[in-house]
Structure 1
């Protein structure tokens, strides 16, 4: 996904003189050819993430469309105050593009982990969030948000599904278990694990790479009584949206994702996926327990 982002952004810089790119050393080498061709629109401020976002706010005030890029914890968590003030409060917009996701660089330690990034972006006003599940989904969605005029966060990861799914992010049913079946919503690169997890269960699976704005109409059309939410970041990030969308219906919600406990471990991204129960086996255990609790409650005493 990262290389696809570099290639697409390099093309956008050549095609649209409104496009700018602001870096804080991360990926600077990859963008060196673009910086040589467009020195006035490719800016590397060094390891100063807060300044990076502030510069993007200034560029936006001049009418440019800035793309701002770094690791998720540096881009969203470290520079959150500048995102809040220099973009939102000034009523200007930018496209933030992160790498690293929740734990892609787990071997680098806690400084490079960011499971709470989407939750933080969710505190801001009217942002679009894309969490692509495959590198081939990146070019179209990146071009769309750069061509737009709103603020957007694009969350790239080394984790990916086997194949891309296109579309604008509305919920797409990738497995239909019939009317009234429990609905599992898989966001981004957890789709394949979710499908494998429910292969022997009567569960409908829907996919989206755009958790914000959440496809409320699609959710209401697909959801029965039981809804399972699987997100590759902090568990429960979209719970409020799902609950509000179904507030007029009796429903149960199981929210799965990265846990809040600080594991204080290194390991690989695959290790963290397993430790947080986001692999197929872990998801199967959680979903089976959730659906089994309803069956047990229905048994006569």
Structure 2
């Protein structure tokens, strides 16, 4: 994902002289092409993320289109006040890009885990929250963000995530979910880099005679309400899947939407991380297994719920 981000940012920078890149002292080699072509538009802000966010807000107020990038907890939790007050209160077009969503940096411990950021960011007025599922969605999200005149948060994985879509998403739109596969029994709504696990879970369900529709719900705020109405009106069970806390994340957003509408109630499940720090040692696949977010665990729980 991050390689696609760097490449797409360089292309956008070639097209739009207003685009500037701010880095929290990470991934500088990743942006060599951008720096070579636009040396005066790249700023290493160091490990001073609160200051970086204030700089980005000031740039945006003066007509530039800043993109602020670093590891997820450091570009969200560490500078949440500046995001809220400098960026969102003034409703300026700063694009915040986080790398290492969820348990992508599982091996580095809880300081680098990111299972609360959706909750933090979607609660702030004027903020758009996008969680791309693969490299193609990253490119689409970044281009869509550059067309906005308000703050956007893009929550990426780390690297090596499987590519799900067969090609470029020319019709990618903020707030418009993408149906990956059709089904008739269960609707699996996935956000972010959990999509490959969800697709695998759907295959396992198919082997047990359960037809599953898989949807990439890349935008958590604003939600695709038309998609939700269709899902809850058609399927026996609807499930949200995210690598984020069950408190305040994508599943919570859907639950809130359900509570505020007269939508027909079907069985509803939420898959996410528990209200606890993950203190075990292991990489992302191990963390998902321990947290009940692997494909076979998702499949088994859905079968149990249907029965």
**TM-score, normalised by the number of residues in structure 2:** 0.87
**1:242 counterpart residue number:** 254
**1:212 counterpart residue number:** 221
Q: 1:149-188 residue pairs with structure 2 within 5 A?
A: 149-157=149-157, 158=159, 160-164=161-165, 166=169, 167-168=172-173, 170-178=176-184, 181-188=185-192
**2:49 counterpart residue number:** 49
Aligned with residue 233 of structure 1, among 223, 244, 262: 244
Q: 2:71 aligned with 1:71, yes or no?
A: yes
SS in 2 for 1:13: helix
**Aligned partners of 2:91 and 2:151 also within 8 Å:** no
**Aligned partners of 2:191 and 2:241 also within 8 Å:** yes
Q: 1:51-130 residue pairs with structure 2 within 5 A?
A: 51-130=51-130
- What is the Cα deviation at residue 251 of structure 1? 3.2
Runs of 5+ consecutive residues of structure 1 not aligned to the other structure: 293-301
**Aligned partners of 1:133 and 1:164 also within 8 Å:** no
Runs of 5+ consecutive residues of structure 2 not aligned to the other structure: none
Q: 2:258 aligned with 1:258, yes or no?
A: no
Q: Which has the larger radius of gyration?
A: 1
Further displaced range: 12-21 or 224-233: 224-233
- What is the Cα deviation at residue 36 of structure 1? 4.9
Report Cα offsets for 1:93-144 as digits up to 9, x if no partner. 3101111111212222211111111111111113222222221222222112
Further displaced range: 50-59 or 145-154: 145-154
**TM-score, normalised by the number of residues in structure 1:** 0.88
SS in 2 for 1:266: coil
**Aligned partners of 2:22 and 2:67 also within 8 Å:** yes
Report Cα offsets for 1:43-84 as digits up to 9, x if no partner. 111111111111001101111111000000000111111101
**1:146 counterpart residue number:** 146
> What CA distance in whole angstroms lies between the structure 2 residues aligned with 1:244 and 1:107?
33
Report Cα offsets for 1:22-52 as digits up to 9, x if no partner. 1111112322453354343211111111111
Further displaced range: 28-37 or 61-70: 28-37
SS in 1 for 2:50: helix
**Aligned partners of 2:89 and 2:125 also within 8 Å:** no
Further displaced range: 53-62 or 169-178: 169-178
> What CA distance in whole angstroms lies between the structure 2 residues aligned with 1:146 and 1:171?
19
**1:299 counterpart residue number:** none
**1:275 counterpart residue number:** 290
Report Cα offsets for 1:6-26 as digits up to 9, x if no partner. 111122222211111111111
**2:38 counterpart residue number:** 38
**Aligned partners of 2:110 and 2:279 also within 8 Å:** yes
SS in 2 for 1:31: helix
